[in-house]
Structure 1
């Protein structure tokens, strides 16, 4: 491990901002752990359906605050895209490189799961059982599609002030929730909601929004606004969707999800200094670099890893606690923590099998990318 850390340290350009990579690793791993903790596959009368402990255990809701890290993902994306584009690289080669790294791994997931679904249906597995894992695997692709659109539009949106998309989200929520407007208005928030942290990242790349006062305003103001929306405006306390609930903060992004993202952006900016100091240590930087080199693979295959462990557990002929049982009590939570290491092992297997679709080059150039 020391030799690997030393090689990664030697391959890292001296001007690389390691704190940005640490934030991206945190965002990706936050999504992974969040999904593994709040997603259950329950076996009921021979059918597999999705469930969430957030529906049965309201005290578990703070988990969604800690692990719903999509705003940080878009914050870093805005920073990386803006910085890369403003370096004078022609638009088409720049975009082709970024889209290739996004969609090559996606193609692998789609092909594998199309084959899996076909085999299951041909074997007589009921449609609901097939649909449940497919929904878990494919749902993250919506966020990648939005991310790809914002990336392609970087020359246009990188100079947009974050207040403008924030105002769009607020207006849409007033119309669709406060005035009972049509539900399709929420589609505007799919782009505008994630454009807020993306444009904050773009402003950060241009040298703005770096003073600590602004960052504290984002953190405290975003947190207070979110608390007020939950307490007095009827927004759900959970920052992720809960099966069975009629309203989600993420589908489409609500004003509460966006203000929560503002708080996350402020916290991320305040953590840059400590993260830069931490990632000067070769071991810490090696861990961050390895996660970043496989970030898309981890993001795309983590649900498959959980599903694979769950499916193998079914071969025992027993409904295993924390794996196949209804997440309706603290015992399920304790049992689920015991399954996390097996999920991680399964994810490592997926990464070993499919990381090649993400890798551009194993050389020093790979670590030098933004």
Structure 2
């Protein structure tokens, strides 16, 4: 591999910031409040809406995010090794960067739920708030796993690039076939690893220049081929045309989406690099990139607070929130999305200290690093499986603190 270029790839930073902003706006669009007979209800405003499935073809950017994560992780790891760093130090750094801001977010959620219970808020609303808070945390668990395995997968990529990515992709295909043909639905959740690991591995090809070395024609054909297969899977009913539905568990539709997005990214990189140097764009991208996890972890509490405020306003004034997908609802969306983006930015600005805090000297023990990753995964998976309650939030925070202590020397 050629020596790494100095400095950051601002074009890739711009793409990562774009992905985070799209996630925030998408979740804000889905957050809805309606008034039922029993009072306010938190609903998914996009559920059953005919406009949502076509929208997901544009806003399902999680495959691209993992490709970019593979690109950035590969560059960061190779630079660390050039400075004499170790794989354990890289893993410890990722645990610190991902889990430290999560401790504050999850702890605050637990306190907030406790206050709702004490205030006499109906248990159904408290449960819904806890469930909605925990939903996006799947990304934290999966990204932590992918980044923890990155040093080993980089080594496999350097030895046999095609074999390593094909091995991961084949595993994803086998799991998908077993799930679909044999009706083994539970086995599909193994693709929470293999689908996203394959896309991370694709990011390694982008980082080391192998994709850029392909002809323009080859990349166009690869992208159009992936789009054609994806469209065929929708028309034949193999996969849902709603790409958000393909998230849980991840399906091969997301692999095809990732291939198409990566082909487009490789073609647009020169243009994106030029755009990323414009002062205003660079300022926004720099703000988001330095606070990626903080933005991700706090945008849902912001949306829940906005939904709660809307419900309180409706109950106190008698104003009925517009029904999702109605004309009145669409007219209020620009203001709603703007407020969501602005309040999330304020929260990220105020709460990013954990993500930006310098890491203490990491452990040199691979066992301690592995224990840290497992403890962190256990804490997040607990919230995903059992939902977020006062009890599970407390237990998750304790597990994350254990993980952070294990990575210290």
Whether TM-score is above 0.5 comes out as yes
Change (3 A) 1:333 1:53: farther
Matching residue of 1:233: 237
Which of 334, 340, 346 is 1:337 aligned to? Answer: 334
Which of 184, 204, 220 is 2:186 aligned to? Answer: 184
Query: Residues 139-218 of structure 1: matches in 2 within 5 Å?
Result: 139-158=135-154, 159=157, 161-177=164-180, 179-210=181-212, 211=214, 212-218=216-222
| Alpha-carbon distance in structure 2 between the residues aligned to 1:68 and 1:83 | 25
Query: Residues 50-61 of structure 1: matches in 2 within 5 Å?
Result: 50-55=43-48, 57-61=49-53
| Alpha-carbon distance in structure 2 between the residues aligned to 1:262 and 1:360 | 35
Give a deviation string over 1:297-316, Cα, whole Å, max 9, x none.
Answer: 11111122122122122232
Q: How many residues align?
A: 338
Matching residue of 1:4: none
Contact conserved, 1:30 with 1:67, CA < 8 A, in 2?
yes
Matching residue of 1:347: 344
| Alpha-carbon distance in structure 2 between the residues aligned to 1:62 and 1:270 | 24
Give a deviation string over 1:253-286, Cα, whole Å, max 9, x none.
Answer: 1111221122112122222110111122233212
| Alpha-carbon distance in structure 2 between the residues aligned to 1:352 and 1:82 | 27
| Alpha-carbon distance in structure 1 between the residues aligned to 2:87 and 2:205 | 19
Contact conserved, 1:294 with 1:355, CA < 8 A, in 2?
yes
What is the Cα deviation at residue 49 of structure 1?
A: 3.2
Query: Residues 292-303 of structure 1: matches in 2 within 5 Å?
Result: 292-303=289-300
> What 5-or-longer segments of structure 1 have no aligned partner?
1-12, 241-247, 362-370
Change (3 A) 1:112 1:320: farther
Contact conserved, 2:20 with 2:292, CA < 8 A, in 1?
yes
Q: CA-atom RMSD, angstroms?
A: 2.1
The structure richer in helix per residue is 2
Tell me the SS of whatever aligns to 1:162.
Answer: helix
| Alpha-carbon distance in structure 2 between the residues aligned to 1:348 and 1:284 | 15
| Alpha-carbon distance in structure 1 between the residues aligned to 2:342 and 2:284 | 16
Matching residue of 1:245: none
Which of 255, 258, 272 is 1:261 aligned to? Answer: 258
The more displaced of 123-132 and 197-206 is 123-132
Change (3 A) 1:319 1:60: farther
Change (3 A) 1:31 1:214: farther
Tell me the SS of whatever aligns to 2:42.
Answer: strand
Contact conserved, 1:301 with 1:350, CA < 8 A, in 2?
yes
| Alpha-carbon distance in structure 1 between the residues aligned to 2:33 and 2:255 | 29
TM-score computed with the length of structure 1 as normaliser: 0.85
Matching residue of 1:48: 41
| Alpha-carbon distance in structure 2 between the residues aligned to 1:51 and 1:223 | 28
Tell me the SS of whatever aligns to 1:40.
Answer: strand
Matching residue of 1:23: 15
TM-score computed with the length of structure 2 as normaliser: 0.77
